[in-house]
Amino acid sequence: MTHALFILSLLGFVIMFALPRVFFRSDGKMNARWWLTGAPFGIALHGVWLAWVGISPRFDSGGAALAATLDALGMIATVGAIALIAATIATHRVPLALWHQDGERNTPLHIVTYGPYGWVRHPFYVSFLLLLVGAALIARDGITLAALPLGLFSLDWTARGDEQNLLASSLGDEYGAYSERTGRFVPRFLHVVRT
């Protein structure tokens, strides 16, 4: 892992971890469910750092060409994640609630269906998953690789709860129609091509 890739991966996680303070609504609480959802990302960050300092062994037995390819793919995923975070922030006019908030703090005020939300229902989550993919490709260690399925599970669990909350709200019909034409984490290209 090069110094530049280490810094890039670190930067992506720093941006992600700064979002609750710089973008999301300030009336939320980082409750136990919030920490549980965020844990795989902290694990991945530590995995990248431990691989960088040589404590966590890396899986690098494929040769220089494979290592360069994985590094390049990791860089693309991480840069894509950072760009998607920026694009998603730019789409919003008002901050969102933190993960797993109860009562009024989680009441949806509106539905955003343009910008990155025109492609997927959870672009922040997609960007966080891209950070995990990038970290796994760059670090190539057991800790970071283990964080990837944990992160996917935690964000899928969170997204399902978010969607149930939206469907049960006064915006339920609008959100139901929106979810028919967009994927949760992967764009529905057939619908995009037809429209």
Token output for 84: 């998607």
The pTM for the full model equals: 0.90
Say how many C-beta atoms besides its own lie within 10 A of residue 106's C-beta: 19
The two tokens of residue 31 are 């409750």
* Chain mean pLDDT for the chain: 90
CB-CB contact of 93 with 3 (8 Å) = no
Over residues 50-98, the pLDDT tens digits come to: 999 999 988 887 889 999 999 999 999 999 999 999 999 999 888 777 7
Alpha helices in 27-141 (DSSP H): 32-52, 64-91, 123-139
Q: Between 21 and 46, where is the model more confident?
A: 46
Check whether 12 has a pLDDT greater than 60.
yes
| pLDDT at position 194 over 50 | no
Query: What integer pLDDT is reported at residue 31 of this predicted model?
Result: 82
pLDDT band at 190 (very low <50, low <70, confident <90, very high): low
What is the tens place of the pLDDT at every residue in 144-189?
Answer: 999 999 999 999 999 998 899 889 888 899 999 999 999 999 998 7
Question: Is residue 110's pLDDT more than 90?
Answer: no
Domain at 3-194, CATH class: mainly alpha
Q: Where are the domains of the chain?
A: 3-194
Q: Are 148 and 45 in contact (CB under 8 A)?
A: no
pLDDT band at 104 (very low <50, low <70, confident <90, very high): low
